[in-house]
């Protein structure tokens, strides 16, 4: 028999009740055990990098905050840092603190959102309702500062658009106390729950070596014992002035990732309080007149990991090239290491554990318009290899087998 | 009033379709189910299949890959149904209007399948949960 035995395949997506976004997972199963996984993305590709080249430097933050609604403070911050590197601008100190506060509030709401969804995925809706209820005051605070519950649009090249009014500070401190107390209660309740222990411990283990191999970032890496954090390793905004710790757990399972996120939430509340107390006086933005030719990089620790922006300017008023690398782009391939060998029932929570965000990730789509064929990664790879073989024949190079490479 | 429309207005079940949104409208829709807003007390429920749904909550501007799926989802939905365009992208593609990968806006895609589709628009980036509730109430009372 030349043809291999066809394995049963379980398709999840593109529209699936468990997923907020469109993505397609193809699980090859042997009974209840997953033996292979294939991910097909790019349903959500919107061409942001190209759109950004048609906008002015000042307009781009509004576009990049819509890369992902949940990381809508981190993406503009990384972009603005890249442009500030080109222009050689130092934003005023108060702006740095305001940026830190908004980013940490965003981290609190994003991590609580994840904890809730994780509870929902394992069929524990009480956690879902609790976590999302405790998240509401954070959104209200953000709305009071920036005018919007999400998509803050608060950073601009040279500083911040909106200042935190001094009268708001006591209210924020009070709210933060309440948020921290509730999160601590939630953390204790979640970590002591025998059901959650039984359901999450030892599930979807991403070993430290695998994590390094797949170059994962953010809580996914810190849950596997890789203690990396841009906020500590290359401090930006006001992080170097604050007293805080990088949380990491060595186990690498879903439980470890949950612990990392919950403890980071409490840490973020502490950092926000420190930043509010230290908030220096002064202006919140400096004027930037011209962006000279050059290129710059900026990165920030989004709730999901490191987000990286590269901007090139030719001296005009628009970026000539803008490249984004979002954290889920490196976290998603780690499913290959963490899902294989799990049972189907555990796959959903393993997939959810990296908090994948497809609206950030989708940078590439190859669409053959005439024949309406959409190539996936495997067929692209095959096409690329076939072309190499053809070219080799044309130039008369000795034939090479795949095993030799 | 048509009895089908009359029965549609009671306790609508919704199916959420993301056609290339930035997640913002999506998390606000999920927010509607949580204790602060809790739309389930009005009988509004998020269901897992378009075949069970009375209304589609569409977010995002409709990318080329999503447009094909959106038409399929619309065909599967029990008629009559209401299509709610949630957010600026769904109403008119918003900031992504000039993107090369956009096939929207949503009303255009849906009307290719059914020219008489009932479509309601809730603008905002993202619309606040209160706006969404108000939009649904206004659309249903106009039916």
Question: What is the residue extent of each domain of chain B?
Answer: 12-142
C-alpha–C-alpha distance, residues A349 and A115, integer Å: 11
Nearest to A317, CA basis, from A289, A350, A287: A289
d(CA A78, CA A69): 15
Main-chain dihedrals φ then ψ at residue A309, nearest 5 degrees? -125, 135
| Statement to judge: residues A170 and A278 lie in one domain | yes
Residue A300 located in a structural domain: yes
Q: State the pLDDT at residue A1.
A: 43
Which secondary structure element, helix H or strand E, spans residue B93, and what is its range? Answer: none
Q: Tell me B31's DSSP state.
A: H
Residue A370 has pLDDT above 80, yes or no: no
As to burial, measured by CB atoms within 10 angstroms (0-12 exposed, 13-18 middle, 19+ buried), residue A166 is exposed
Short-list A363, A349, A301, A354, CA closest to A331: A354
Same domain, A66 and A209: yes
- Partners of B20 on chain A (C-beta within 8 Å) are 22, 43-46, 359
- Cβ within 8 Å, pair A367-B48: no
Find the helix or strand (DSSP H, E) in which A350 lies.
helix A344-353
Using 50, 70 and 90 to split pLDDT, how confident is the model at A372? very low
| Averaged pLDDT for residues A329-358 | 81
CB A55 within 8 A of CB A74: no
A369 pLDDT higher than 50:
no
Kindly state the average pLDDT of the residues A325-340: 86
pTM for this prediction: 0.87
pLDDT band at A365 (very low <50, low <70, confident <90, very high): very low
Describe the crossing of helices A93-121 and A254-278 by its angle, rounded to 10 degrees: 150
Give tens-digit pLDDT for B63-117.
888 898 899 999 999 988 999 999 999 999 888 988 888 887 899 999 999 999 9
Task: Please give the residue of chain B at the shortest CA–CA distance from A116.
Answer: B34
Of B25, B63, B125, the CB nearest to A46: B63
Contacts of A244 (CB under 8 A, 6+ apart): A231, A267, A270, A271, A274
What distance, in Å, lies between the first and last C-alpha atoms of chain B? 9
Q: What is the ipTM of this complex?
A: 0.91
Residue A392, pLDDT above cutoff 80:
no
Burial code of A80-112, b = ≥16 C-beta within 10 A, e = fewer?
A: bbbbbebbebebbbbbbbbbbbbbbbbbbbbbb
* Between A23 and A339, the higher pLDDT residue: A339
Nearby residues of A11 by Cβ (< 8 Å), 6 or more positions away: A24, A25, A26, A27
Higher pLDDT, A391 or A168: A168
Question: Rounded to the nearest 5 degrees, what angle is found at the Cα of B44, between the Cα atoms of B43 and B48?
Answer: 120
Question: Which is higher by pLDDT, A380 or A237?
Answer: A237
Same domain, residue pair A375 and A289: no
Residues of A with CB under 8 A from a CB of B: 14-15, 17, 20-22, 42-48, 50-51, 54, 62-63, 66-70, 72, 113, 116, 128-129, 132-133, 136, 148-151, 357, 359, 365, 367, 374
Q: What is the mean pLDDT of residues A286-296?
A: 92
Whether the pLDDT of residue A3 is over 70: the answer is no
The answer to whether the CB atoms of A46 and B49 lie below 8 A apart is no
Q: What is the arithmetic mean of pLDDT over A186-213?
A: 88
Residue A267 and residue A394 in one domain: no
Is residue A298 pLDDT above 90, yes or no?
yes
Question: What's the rounded mean pLDDT across residues A259-287?
Answer: 93
Q: Is residue A10 part of a domain?
A: no
Q: Do B34 and A72 touch (CB under 8 A)?
A: no
Q: Which residues pair with A298 in a beta bridge?
A: A309
**What residue in B sits closest to A46 (Cα-Cα)?**
B101
Calculate the average pLDDT of chain A. Answer: 84
Q: Is the peptide bond before A14 cis (omega within 30 degrees of 0)?
A: yes
Identify the residue among B14, B15, B27, B58 best suited for mutation to test binding to A, counting A beta carbons within 10 A and taking the highest.
Answer: B27
How far apart are alpha carbons B8 and B79 in whole angstroms? 9
Segment 6-45 of chain B within 8 Å of chain A by CB: 16-28, 30-31, 34-36
Residues A225 and A267 in one domain: yes
**Poorest-confidence range of A93-102, A296-305, A378-387, B46-55?**
A378-387
Mark whether A263 and A401 lie in a shared domain.
Answer: no
When pLDDT is averaged across residues A312-317 and rounded to a whole number, the result is: 92
- Distance between CA atoms of residues B4 and A368, nearest Å: 42
Does A228 reside within a domain? yes
Residues A309 and A387 in one domain: no
Please give the pLDDT value at position B45: 87
> Percent of chain B beyond pLDDT 90?
43
Number of domains forming the structure of chain A: 2
| A402 pLDDT more than 70 | no
> What are the chain A neighbours of B18 within 8 Å (beta carbons)?
15, 20-22, 44
CATH number of the domain within which A267 lies: 1.10.645.10
Q: Percentage of chain A surpassing pLDDT 70? A: 85
Residue-number span of the structural domain to which A272 is assigned: 48-353
Nearest Cα neighbor of A352 from A179, A194, A118, A41 is A118
pLDDT at A56: 93
A235 lies in some domain: yes
Q: For residue A367, what pLDDT is reported?
A: 44
- In the CATH scheme, what is the code of domain B12-142? 3.40.50.12280
Distance, in Å, from the CA atom of A230 to the CA atom of A249, rounded to the nearest integer, reads 17
Looking at residues A261-265, what average pLDDT do you find?
Answer: 94
Distance CA A149, CA A250 (A): 35
Q: B100 at the A interface (CB within 8 A)?
A: yes
Q: Residue A373 has what pLDDT?
A: 46
Q: What is the pLDDT of residue A354?
A: 76
Mean pLDDT, rounded, for A279-284: 93
């Amino acid at each position: 028999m030349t043809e291999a035995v066809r394995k049963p395949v379980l398709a999840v997506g593109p529209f699936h009740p468990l997923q907020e976004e469109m993505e397609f997972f193809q699980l090859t199963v042997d009974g209840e055990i997953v033996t292979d996984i294939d991910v097909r993305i790019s349903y959500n590709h919107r061409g942001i990098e190209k759109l950004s080249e048609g906008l002015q430097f000042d307009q781009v933050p509004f576009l990049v905050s819509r890369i992902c609604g949940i990381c809508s403070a981190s993406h503009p911050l990384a972009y603005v840092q890249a442009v500030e590197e080109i222009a050689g601008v130092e934003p005023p100190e108060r702006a740095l603190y305001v940026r830190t506060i908004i980013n940490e509030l965003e981290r609190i709401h994003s991590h609580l959102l994840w904890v809730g969804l994780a509870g929902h995925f394992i069929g524990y809706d009480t956690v879902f309702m609790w976590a999302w209820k405790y998240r509401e005051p954070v959104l209200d605070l953000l709305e009071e500062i920036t005018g919007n519950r999400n998509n803050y649009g608060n950073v601009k090249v040279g500083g911040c658009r909106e200042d935190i009014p001094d009268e708001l500070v006591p209210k924020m401190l009070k709210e933060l106390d309440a948020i921290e107390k509730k999160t601590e209660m939630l953390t204790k309740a979640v970590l002591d729950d025998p059901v959650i222990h039984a359901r999450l411990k030892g599930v979807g283990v991403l070993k430290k070596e695998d994590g390094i191999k797949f170059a994962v970032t953010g809580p996914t890496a810190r849950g596997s014992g890789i203690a990396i954090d841009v906020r500590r390793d290359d401090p930006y905004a006001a992080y170097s002035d604050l007293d805080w710790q990088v949380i990491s757990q060595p186990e690498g399972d879903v439980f470890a990732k949950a612990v990392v996120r919950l403890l980071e939430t409490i840490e973020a509340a502490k950092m926000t309080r420190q930043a509010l107390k230290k908030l220096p006086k002064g202006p919140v933005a400096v004027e930037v007149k011209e962006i000279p030719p050059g290129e710059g990089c900026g990165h920030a620790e989004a709730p999901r990991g490191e987000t990286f922006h590269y901007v090139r300017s030719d001296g005009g008023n628009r970026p000539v090239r803008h490249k984004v690398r979002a954290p889920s782009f490196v976290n998603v391939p780690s499913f290959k290491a963490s899902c294989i060998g799990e049972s189907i029932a555990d796959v959903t929570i393993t997939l959810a554990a990296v908090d994948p965000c497809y609206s950030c990730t989708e940078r590439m789509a190859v669409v053959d318009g005439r024949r309406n064929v959409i190539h996936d990664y495997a067929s692209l790879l095959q096409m690329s290899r076939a072309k190499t073989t053809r070219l080799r024949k044309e130039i008369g190079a000795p034939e090479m087998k795949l095993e030799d490479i | 009033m048509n009895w089908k429309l009359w029965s549609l207005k009671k306790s609508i079940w919704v199916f959420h379709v993301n056609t290339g949104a930035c997640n913002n409208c999506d998390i606000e829709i999920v927010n509607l189910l949580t204790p602060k807003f809790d739309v389930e007390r009005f009988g509004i429920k998020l269901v897992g299949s378009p075949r069970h749904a009375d209304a589609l909550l569409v977010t995002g501007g409709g990318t080329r890959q999503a447009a094909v799926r959106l038409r399929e989802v619309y065909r599967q939905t029990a008629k009559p149904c209401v299509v709610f365009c949630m957010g600026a992208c769904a109403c008119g593609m918003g900031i992504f209007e000039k993107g090369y990968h956009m096939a929207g806006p949503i009303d255009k895609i849906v009307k290719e399948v059914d020219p008489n589709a009932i479509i309601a628009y809730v603008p905002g980036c993202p619309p606040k949960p209160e706006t969404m509730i108000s939009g649904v109430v206004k659309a249903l009372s106009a039916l």
